[in-house]
Structures are given as structure tokens and as C-alpha cells.
């Protein structure tokens, strides 16, 4: 499989987070709905009110199973609007879904919902995680510990915070200022709270210097993901307004990570969001584009393509469809 294929053309699903549970691939995407609001940089045109779960046993030739709605804003006591990208982790017989959602004050928090099965339904906790903010949580397990990576600029509200505290006025760095960093935090033993304070995930250039805000083709924007290959940690992410999926490599989950290159060139549509998984001896990149909806950026469709490595451990760039 060298050409990307669509996974569920019947509906608009985006931002696929993917894991292998119970011997098959489970996909946890966001769900695009028309909001009726004009497109803007805060993402108000995204009306995303529920999650479906999908599974597949044969990535290249198999059918995708839709397990239906597993969580909606109607289920969540503190819900305002907009369920953006989620992720799921497994521990001690339970599955934990981490989701960003705007509260009743239109501020993104990160919530947790729990299920006995990877396909739900997921039952939300009564309150968001204490101290949580911004979007795009992704979970990584290492040596029995679970870590959350999160953060997103513009509509993702990361520019509203410094040192985990809300600013009086948001500030998005520009020019030679240091780029904003995604965050990493260890989860508590019960998987329901942060175990410590979120820390910066620093991405370095080839000279060992942190990336600058003006370096828009390499700096982090949103969509953190991490996987391990040959003992190294691969931190991948979207550059947002420059429409690239890039990656950086480090020696531990906290980084720092040194920029390596582009995984995926621009697709049809504005946003690019992905996950990477190994399954049955092959690696796959799950992502989305807006081609089936005629290029409307708020109606996106899931895709998958095989991902390959070079002998030196770098990732071969995949050409998008823009």
C-alpha cells in the first residue's frame, strides 16, 4: 500500500488518533458538522458535538466498522461547545478517552471519559482535568507511566497561557521570539488528573537552538503525536498555517527533540492532523483532507497511507494531494 485511501467516505471525520487494542486498529476521530458560522482563525466554523469510534483489522483491504456515537456534548455536564481531537489510553482493564472541549465560558479544557471497551460508550467525569487547557491531547505510555502531550495555537488557545497560567491578554510570539512549545505532563495513577505541572516540549533546529516563531514551516502549531522507533522518540506535529506534518527526534519522552524533516506535504484543505501506528509489521500514517467535500476546510475525511523509514531512521516524505 503506497497510495493513501479514504477510510469512511460516508461521513466527515477528521483528526484520527489511532491505537492497536485487542489485536485490531481503533480510530478515534473528531466529527465535522456544519456550524453555519463563517470560517475564521478561531475555528468557529467547526461544530463538533460528538465522537464516533471506528475499527479495522486489514488496513489495506478491510472494511471499516463504525461503532457509532460514543460520547457527545449532551453527556458532559460542563460542556460549552466543540469537541476537538481526542485520544484514548488503556490501563488496568479500562479505556480512558481524553478530549478537549470548550466550557461554558468558551475556554478549552481537557476532560476524561472512561469505558470498559475500546469502542465505548465512554462515560465522562463530572469535571475537566484540574489545570488543563488548550487542545489536542495525545497519550504515550513508557515504563508504566502515561504522559499527555497537548497544545494548539490560534483557536487552540495556547497563546493565552504562560507557565501554565492564563495571561491577562493573549500573546502569540512573532519574528525572532521563541516559538510557543507544546506541553507534556505525566498523568496520575488513576489516569484522571495531572500528576505534576505541564512542561515545555522544546524543538531544536540543526544547530541545537530552539525554533523561532518566524520559522513557520518548522515550528509547532498543533496535533502533537509521539511514537518510538529503534529506541528513539519521534515527536510529530502540524505546522498549521503552512500545512505540513513535520517531525523531530529525541532520546526521551520529554525531549528536547531535534527537527528532522517533513512527513506529509500539504493536503487539500486548511488543517493537517495525523497519527502514526505500527500494525502487522508495517507503519501507517493516518490523516485527513477535505477533497471529498470539495475542499471546504471544515468538512474533512479520514485517510491512511503506509509510512516508510530510511536506513538511517529518518522518515520518507509522503507527498500530499494539494
Domains, the chain, ranges and CATH?
A: 5-307 (2.115.10.20)
State how far the Cα of 192 lies from the Cα of 132, in Å rounded to an integer. 11
Which has the closest alpha carbon to 238: 219, 257, 214, 256? 219
3-class DSSP assignment, residue 82:
strand
Specify whether 15 is catalytic.
Answer: yes
Decide: 210 and 180 in contact? Cβ < 8 Å: no
What is the pLDDT at residue 313?
Answer: 98
What is the pLDDT at residue 195?
Answer: 98
Residue in 85, 87, 136, 222 annotated catalytic = 222
What is the pLDDT at residue 1?
Answer: 63
SS (H, E, C) 282-298: EEEEEEEECHHHCCCCC
3-class DSSP assignment, residue 21:
strand
Question: What cell was used for 106?
Answer: 468558551
Specify whether 103 is catalytic.
Answer: no
What is the pLDDT at residue 322?
Answer: 61
Residue in 15, 85, 87, 289 annotated catalytic = 15
What backbone phi and psi angles, to 5 degrees, belong to 61? -130, -5
Between vectors from CA 79 to CA 75 and to CA 84, what angle results, nearest 5°?
A: 95
H-only helix segments in the chain: none
Between vectors from CA 215 to CA 82 and to CA 288, what angle results, nearest 5°?
A: 40
What is the pLDDT at residue 273?
Answer: 96
- Strand ranges, E, within 116-268: 123-124, 138-142, 145-150, 161-162, 165-166, 183-186, 199-200, 203-204, 222-229, 232-238, 245-250, 257-264
Cell numbers 456515537: residue = 69
Which has the closest alpha carbon to 216: 149, 266, 150, 275? 266
Could you give the count of Cα atoms lying within 13 Å of 163 in the half-sphere of its Cβ? 0
State how far the Cα of 125 lies from the Cα of 117, in Å rounded to an integer. 16
What backbone phi and psi angles, to 5 degrees, belong to 239? -90, 5
State how far the Cα of 222 lies from the Cα of 245, in Å rounded to an integer. 10
Tell me the sheet residues that pair with 217.
Answer: none
Which has the closest alpha carbon to 277: 231, 226, 237? 226
Q: What is the pTM of this model?
A: 0.96
Q: What is the pLDDT along the chain (322 residues), one digit of tens a residue?
A: 678 899 998 999 999 999 999 999 999 999 998 777 777 776 777 779 999 999 999 999 999 999 999 999 999 999 999 999 999 999 999 999 999 999 999 999 999 999 999 999 999 999 999 999 999 999 999 999 999 999 999 999 999 999 999 999 999 999 999 999 999 999 999 999 999 999 999 999 999 999 999 999 999 999 999 999 999 999 999 999 999 999 999 999 999 999 999 999 999 988 899 999 999 999 999 999 999 998 777 799 999 999 999 999 999 999 997 6
Decide: 5 and 304 in contact? Cβ < 8 Å: yes
Decide: 314 and 261 in contact? Cβ < 8 Å: yes
Amino acid at each position: 500500500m503506497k497510495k493513501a485511501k479514504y477510510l469512511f467516505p460516508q461521513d466527515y471525520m477528521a483528526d484520527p488518533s489511532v491505537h492497536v487494542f485487542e489485536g485490531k486498529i481503533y480510530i478515534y476521530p473528531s466529527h465535522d458538522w456544519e456550524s453555519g458560522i463563517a470560517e475564521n482563525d478561531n475555528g468557529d466554523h467547526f461544530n463538533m458535538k460528538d465522537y464516533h469510534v471506528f475499527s479495522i483489522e486489514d488496513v489495506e483491504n478491510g472494511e471499516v466498522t463504525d461503532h457509532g456515537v460514543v460520547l457527545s456534548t449532551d453527556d458532559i455536564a460542563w460542556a460549552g461547545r466543540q469537541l476537538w481531537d481526542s485520544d484514548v489510553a488503556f490501563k488496568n482493564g479500562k479505556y480512558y478517552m481524553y478530549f478537549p472541549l470548550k466550557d461554558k465560558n468558551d475556554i478549552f479544557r481537557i476532560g476524561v471519559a472512561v469505558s470498559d471497551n475500546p469502542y465505548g460508550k465512554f462515560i465522562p467525569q463530572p469535571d475537566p482535568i484540574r489545570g488543563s487547557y488548550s487542545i489536542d491531547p495525545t497519550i504515550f505510555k513508557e515504563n508504566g507511566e502515561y504522559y499527555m502531550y497537548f497544545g494548539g495555537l490560534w483557536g487552540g488557545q495556547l497563546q493565552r497561557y504562560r507557565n501554565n497560567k492564563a495571561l491577562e491578554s493573549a500573546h502569540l510570539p512573532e519574528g525572532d521570539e521563541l516559538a510557543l512549545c507544546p506541553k507534556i505532563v505525566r498523568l496520575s495513577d488513576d489516569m484522571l488528573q495531572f500528576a505534576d505541572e505541564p512542561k515545555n516540549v522544546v524543538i531544536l533546529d540543526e544547530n541545537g537552538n530552539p525554533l523561532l516563531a518566524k520559522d513557520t514551516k518548522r515550528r509547532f502549531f498543533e496535533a502533537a503525536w509521539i511514537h518510538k522507533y529503534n529506541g528513539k522518540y519521534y515527536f510529530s506535529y502540524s505546522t498549521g498555517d503552512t500545512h505540513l506534518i513535520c517531525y523531530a527526534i529525541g532520546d526521551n519522552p520529554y525531549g528536547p527533540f531535534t527537527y528532522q524533516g517533513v512527513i506529509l506535504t500539504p493536503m487539500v484543505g486548511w488543517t493537517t492532523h495525523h497519527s502514526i501506528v505500527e500494525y502487522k509489521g508495517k507503519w501507517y500514517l493516518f490523516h485527513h483532507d477535505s477533497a471529498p467535500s470539495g475542499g471546504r476546510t471544515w468538512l474533512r475525511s479520514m485517510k491512511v497511507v503506509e509510512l516508510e523509514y530510511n536506513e538511517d531512521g529518518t522518515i520518507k516524505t509522503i507527498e500530499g494531494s494539494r
